[in-house]
Chain A
Amino acid sequence: MSSLLHTFTTEIRRGTLTLAVLSQLKTPQYGYSLAQRLEAAGITIEQSTLYPLLRRLEKQDLVTSNWDTSESRPRKYYVISEYGNEIYTQLKKEWDTLTLELDALLKGDEGIELD
């Protein structure tokens, strides 16, 4: 991929990251498991992006965290809060509207090309 195309793609992905992460935190996840779920859906995210993002979301009261020390390996679990869920629902609506608008634009462009 050319480096210019790469910067644009990264920009789009960066914008949708919060939405993607929040969507997976209905059930408690720890950093690594979250990264794996996103990978399964095709979203590769670096540790250096994911963990600071989770901490920021916690600071913004969108998720809550707690340490699970019951197993041999202590893990920090994140789960979406009530406030986070409100925001998430609204954000999801915004996303749906956005994709509709964008689709219309892009389809319209294709229509002109076909002529």
Chain B
Amino acid sequence: MRVLNLIEVYIYEVTRRLPEKTRKDIALELKSTIEDMLPDNYSEEDIKHVLAKLGSPEKLASSYKDKPNYLIGPQIYDTYMSTMKLVIPWAIGITLLVHFIDSIFVFNSDEALLPAITTFLITTISNIISVVLQVLFWITLSFIIVERTGGLKVKIMPEWTPEDLNHVRIIPKEKDIPFTEILLSLIGTAFLAVVYFNADRLAGIYQTTENGKLTFIMPIFNQETLLAFWPIIIALLIIQIAFIIYKWKLRKWTIPLAIVNLIVTVISTITVIVMAKTPNLLNVEIFSYFADVLNMSTLKITVLSNKIIMISIIILVITNIFDIYNSFRKAKI
């Protein structure tokens, strides 16, 4: 490369990255600076030495730019984060709600429930993901634009004052009832209710057919027996929901709450035991079905099933005792 060209190429490399307005001016100034830095009879080595001193054209060009080196600057970053935290849960919640309502209307009561629920979950989750991605993208993009065009002068949140400390309640971690627990109990209760009243279509023996679809063979429970209990079940449900709301209001374990927990748990456990002892709880057909599949006599199956029921009740009671003990322990903290 001809000696003079080296300088020209360097200047070109720097200025082509700059806005047209200032290009000529910077180019001229840069040229005269380089020539100032060179000795009188300069060689190619001297030029290279000077250019190395000036540094990479990209870096030099970016130092001329006034634009900030970040997408979302420190001033509006906090606002960005709080906006995200505010919007995303709502976006997820609304998507969930819409899907749920939509699927209830669309549901064809002839088809088996379990595959329908599986489809519902899959579509809902994939939709939630795409909604969240959209929200992330658009909020981030808007904040980048705000940063580029001079930043927000408006305060979104009011300034903090010491008065705000009055709203803080310090609860030791063990004693605290986190919101997720409340939410999960509510969802769990709703789920159990749905399954209970639809047990003839949901709680049963499933088999995969040749084409991989899950088919419902027969229900485990005798739905008539289940439905006979309906007043008690509805009462229990109402008590449970009321209890959960009470927990939510309190946000932490207290002795009164633990006592209520004790009462509610005892009532539901007794109900379960009573139900388990009723004759005709189970669907008669499952005995013969299992006898066939497992190659045992129907009598053996019946004895076995009674044992299973006993063991389940014992496990339930033990778990509940632990739960009650824990709730009192947390209340005493």
**A residues in contact (CB < 8 Å) with B:** 30-32, 46-49, 51-52, 55-56, 67, 73-76
Contact = CB atoms under 8 A, between A and B. Distances in A.
Closest 10 CB pairs of A and B: A32-B36, A48-B63, A76-B29, A52-B64, A48-B60, A52-B63, A73-B32, A75-B32, A32-B33, A31-B33
A49 B25 CA distance: 17
Contact of B32 (A30, A47, A48, A52): A30
Contacts of B37: 32
26 contacts: A30-B36, A32-B32, A32-B36, A32-B37, A46-B55, A47-B33, A47-B53, A47-B55, A47-B60, A48-B54, A48-B60, A48-B63, A49-B63, A51-B30, A51-B33, A51-B64, A52-B63, A52-B64, A55-B64, A73-B32, A73-B36, A74-B28, A74-B32, A75-B32, A76-B25, A76-B32
A65 to B, nearest CB: 9
Interface of B is mostly: helix
Interface in B33-48: 33, 35-37
Contacts of B53: 47
Contacts of B59: 48
Contacts of A48: 54-55, 59-60, 63
Interface of A is mostly: helix
Contacts of B30: 51
Contacts of A52: 63-64
Contacts of B29: 31, 51, 76
A30 B53 CA distance: 19
A46 B64 CA distance: 13
Contacts, number: 41
B35 A73 contact: yes
A71 B189 CA distance: 90
A52 B66 CA distance: 9
B6 to A, nearest CB: 17
Contacts of A76: 25, 28-29, 32
A52 B87 CA distance: 41
Contacts of B22: 55
Interface in B44-102: 53-55, 59-60, 63-64, 66
Nearest to B62: A48
A22 B276 CA distance: 92
Contacts of A51: 26, 29-30, 33, 64
A56 B64 CA distance: 9
Contacts of A67: 28
A57 to B, nearest CB: 13
Nearest to B61: A48
Nearest to A75: B32
Given A49-B63, A73-B35, A76-B28, 11 more contacts: A30-B36, A31-B29, A32-B33, A32-B36, A32-B37, A47-B53, A48-B54, A51-B33, A67-B28, A73-B32, A76-B29
B27 to A, nearest CB: 11
A105 B184 CA distance: 59
B121 to A, nearest CB: 52
Contacts of A56: 66
Contacts of A49: 63
A67 B31 CA distance: 13
A68 to B, nearest CB: 10
Interface string B121-148: 0000000000000000000000000000
